[in-house]
Structure 1
């Protein structure tokens, strides 16, 4: 095998270049053909540079064009692109330019001129031995290539066998795995079919069992419903009988009246006499039943609803499905219709009192007076004004011609007696025991609210002014009031109702000071005077909320009875007339008292 460096491998097209002057190239003097070589400087030089070089370096050895190294190497240095590669360092085994030699190979002892070193390379033992080695390496490469080809065939066959076997085994495993899953699904399907069949049977049995229970439950609850309806009907049987009896009496009266008129016309005096007696007797009976109807109260009730969530078990064990709670008549909503306005010249009426069906008393804040109004059916007029030295606040009826008035800044209560013509006959003063504001009369006692620093309480006084009872805290020792201005008592004289304009509350308490209920609502602001009707309904003015609230006897909110739509602007005083069923409301910033007719819904 021929070596890679034999003469036969030199191509005819290889370009043979002439060497140029390194001095001219180094100094930028252009291209010049080299004609000599300085052995000491190891530079190729031109004719011109040779002449100057000999003058400057007389001891340097100069070779002419025939004897200078002819193997020119024109590669540039990779580190210094402007320099030719001229040297080879045998220690570093690397080529170098002049700068590389001067700077990087200072300590190298075996660095020589590359063309000089390469001049005998063709006949050198190194090249000959290397050529032989390359021939052997070439042979080894060819043998290795054949061996690689043979081994590649083996590897290829092996890869094909393994790949084919792997694919076959993978497919087998996947098939087996899927089959296991299918077996599980089939087993589950079988169990599901069995379970469905069992559940369908159990469902049918359950439906039959529940159907029997449902029938029984429906029978029980329908019977309870029937019993409840009968009980409801029975509740008002007496009233219905009374109404039916009244209708019969009215019918009989009409028939007798016709007979009476007929006997009168034809002049049958005996018959007329008998008919007259019968009609008079019938009228008495009608009057009795009419009075009974007018004074009888309808029993009001509502179905009682359970807050407990019913279950199947509790419903099956239930023995009583329905009951009803009696609704206290005070909790029945009132219906108001406007009657008339009392127009007057007194602003800031702070308390009202219906003394009789035709007499209304009002306390005026600005003028410190007691104003007396006479109420007619369709109008009202002021007949008298009594002047006081100091501000009055609360007023209550003691008897038909006697009232009690509080004077907080005098710390006094005055008992005022009037004549039939509403002239003041007598005034008696009793101690108020502090700044007394609200006042109510009950069972020959006065109930009075007090309001001054650190003393907000309720006193029950004898008619001579002695304190019988006093309370200012509840059962837990907590303060009851902040600013109790007004109070009233229930129709049966068992409860006291107190308004607190600072706490925005109404408190219900017994005559021994036990708190029964406290009413507080976001729609009630600054409650002032209160009134109660014959059924126990409580009416309270909300001065700052511009409304009147209706509360039941236990202070449950029934409704907002009056608001701005009814002309309520800072209502401060209120009174109720039982005889005429009228509610009277006075405004804090208006010279007007509004009167409304009250009826049950």
Structure 2
């Protein structure tokens, strides 16, 4: 039988859709165009083979050219290379040729003809679900890319700083060692004048001996430096592996997405079906990778040179030249870069709150009002203000459109609800149960409120009912006298600033005192703020500074008037999304961009 060269040259092309006779191809008679399809045998037949097949299998159902399946899949089976892939087993999730179907999938209950199975894929729920999943996944990918960029920047800066510190310390030690040898040689040169011949020989021997010691010392300290570098680089190895896997998976997803779009455009339903199944699995792998990245915390650390005297004896006997300590993320120094100023009338700001990355709220104690600003990239615009009969003291966020404000003179708390345009929709009053000052929202629909006269901390329901009370009787001493402000960290620790005692106290929600911070440079502490890592920022009005404290109330650093332009800071607020710190002062609000060193 003469081979059909057109079918032969176009069988791998999905643009020319022409099927050839499978009977002729199996018996080596070349490629002959198919004009019929046997439903019972699931085989395409040419004119001649159809004729003989009708005679031999009279009961088989034959479909003519116009009614036979026209969506062809020309890939050959990898196991039975002369067989076309014509079936898809939904039980095994695997394509199959006739021999595979008869042998490997004989017990499978759901093996279907591929063109028939793929006929409705363009409008299938699987394809629609995948497309929706891809849209959602790409949105998540963009978020993770920002998260990766931020975390990667922190990791890179840590490594660079540690490596630079190693090098500086090594250079100093080498120089000290070299200087020591020069001093020895200089002292010996004085004796050479008296006994030149004897001392020349002695000098040569000594130089050789010192050179050998220096060589050994350099080898030892270089080894120590290399070991420290390796330890620093390996600390966040798991994060780096996840980052690499993420980039590879994203590239693969982009390629498969392009293949899916191409198959849809060309109507290649069989290819579309196979690519769909592959992409579904890749999406699941990528989703697991995204979850792992979000759950993986990078490790923070501090590296310091060992505190040794650089003498020859100490340098030769020393085995560890660096101290290495892992630290909590809240104990890492932040870098503060001035962003812009928000002009504010000369008056006292009792409290600041970042309601969203686009909205800032400040409370005026003396003017009895709440002022709203719209935040932009490098400026803030006044939007509106709300007048009250008495002075508001502290404000906390409950939801994106709801806040709670304390009014200590009225012994009242007001719940304010805003519209999406930050217009007041409703103001609800609940009992303050005393001279309420500081307020913070905590999990399970509760408020933590501080009080003075008498001093105490109370947990209230959203209706004002007292759930718990922590007062000085619980501690057997005056733990608080005037606790003006309060904040709750992401891990539900309560931090209280006491204006009279000049302290910041950390409590659990059960009232257990975890730590107390007191420092000569912190006087009249006022409002507190906390970032997503648990670092606490405290405004110190008297010394015109802001203290950054770790979650266990260890001093990390101090922002001063000299280096940051602070003038009697009374209030602070932190925006988690934009990483901005807002510092309220009598005549302006300073905005700083915050990042890891």
- TM-score where L is the length of structure 2: 0.52
Alignment partners' CA distance in 2, 1:487 and 1:222: 50
Structure 2 counterparts to residues 36-55 of structure 1, below 5 A: none
Structure 2 counterparts to residues 332-351 of structure 1, below 5 A: 332-336=333-337, 338=339, 348-351=348-351
Alignment partners' CA distance in 2, 1:250 and 1:395: 43
* TM-aligned CA distance change 1:208 to 1:530, over 3 Å: same
Cα contact 1:552–1:558 (8 A) shared by 2: no
Cα contact 1:403–1:416 (8 A) shared by 2: yes
Alignment partners' CA distance in 1, 2:210 and 2:299: 40
Measure how far apart 1:416 and its partner are. Answer: 2.9
Measure how far apart 1:232 and its partner are. Answer: 1.5
* TM-aligned CA distance change 1:277 to 1:310, over 3 Å: same
Alignment match, 2:527: 529
Larger radius of gyration, structure 1 or 2? 1
Measure how far apart 1:404 and its partner are. Answer: 4.7
Alignment match, 1:490: 489
Measure how far apart 1:533 and its partner are. Answer: 0.7
Measure how far apart 1:535 and its partner are. Answer: 0.9
* 2:426 aligns with one of 421, 424, 427: 424
Q: Which moved more, 1:241-250 or 1:552-561?
A: 552-561
Note the alpha carbon deviations across 1:514-545, whole angstroms, 9 max, x for none.
65433443xx7765322111112223345576
SS at match of 2:392: coil
Q: Which moved more, 1:538-547 or 1:295-304?
A: 538-547
Note the alpha carbon deviations across 1:539-578, whole angstroms, 9 max, x for none.
3345576665544443424353898978x66543332232
Alignment match, 2:270: 270
SS at match of 2:305: coil
SS at match of 1:485: strand
1:468 aligns with 2:465: no
Alignment match, 2:448: 446
Alignment match, 2:518: 518
Alignment match, 1:245: 245
* TM-aligned CA distance change 1:204 to 1:399, over 3 Å: same
Cα contact 2:528–2:538 (8 A) shared by 1: yes
SS at match of 2:518: strand
Structure 2 counterparts to residues 12-411 of structure 1, below 5 A: 213-279=213-279, 281-283=281-283, 285-286=285-286, 288-290=288-290, 292-293=292-293, 296-330=296-330, 331-336=332-337, 338=339, 348-355=348-355, 361-370=361-370, 382=383, 385=386, 387-397=387-397, 404-410=404-410
Cα contact 1:405–1:439 (8 A) shared by 2: yes
Alignment match, 1:7: none
Alignment partners' CA distance in 2, 1:296 and 1:334: 23
Alignment partners' CA distance in 1, 2:195 and 2:471: 79
Cα contact 1:459–1:468 (8 A) shared by 2: yes
Note the alpha carbon deviations across 1:450-473, whole angstroms, 9 max, x for none.
3x7xx7x55355654477333499
Alignment partners' CA distance in 1, 2:193 and 2:581: 78
SS at match of 2:439: strand
Alignment partners' CA distance in 2, 1:320 and 1:294: 36
Alignment partners' CA distance in 2, 1:409 and 1:520: 31
* TM-aligned CA distance change 1:355 to 1:192, over 3 Å: closer
* TM-aligned CA distance change 1:198 to 1:337, over 3 Å: closer
Alignment partners' CA distance in 1, 2:532 and 2:259: 43
Alignment partners' CA distance in 1, 2:529 and 2:385: 24
Alignment partners' CA distance in 2, 1:355 and 1:224: 50
* TM-aligned CA distance change 1:265 to 1:224, over 3 Å: same
Alignment partners' CA distance in 2, 1:372 and 1:316: 65
Alignment partners' CA distance in 1, 2:324 and 2:299: 12
Cα contact 1:350–1:363 (8 A) shared by 2: yes
Cα contact 1:538–1:552 (8 A) shared by 2: yes
Alignment partners' CA distance in 2, 1:595 and 1:288: 38
* 2:504 aligns with one of 489, 507, 510: 507
SS at match of 1:528: strand
SS at match of 2:570: strand
Unmatched runs of 5 consecutive residues or more in structure 1: 1-190
Alignment match, 1:13: none
SS at match of 1:220: helix
Cα contact 2:349–2:586 (8 A) shared by 1: yes
Cα contact 2:357–2:578 (8 A) shared by 1: yes
Alignment match, 2:68: none
SS at match of 1:252: helix
SS at match of 2:534: coil
Note the alpha carbon deviations across 1:393-426, whole angstroms, 9 max, x for none.
123346677655433334x242637487753364
Alignment partners' CA distance in 1, 2:324 and 2:318: 16
SS at match of 1:539: strand
Alignment match, 1:577: 575
Alignment partners' CA distance in 1, 2:450 and 2:586: 22
Alignment partners' CA distance in 2, 1:436 and 1:465: 13
RMSD: 4.8
* TM-aligned CA distance change 1:448 to 1:238, over 3 Å: same
Q: Which moved more, 1:436-445 or 1:243-252?
A: 436-445
Cα contact 1:518–1:555 (8 A) shared by 2: no
Unmatched runs of 5 consecutive residues or more in structure 2: 1-190
Alignment match, 1:560: 559
Cα contact 2:192–2:200 (8 A) shared by 1: no
- TM-score where L is the length of structure 1: 0.52
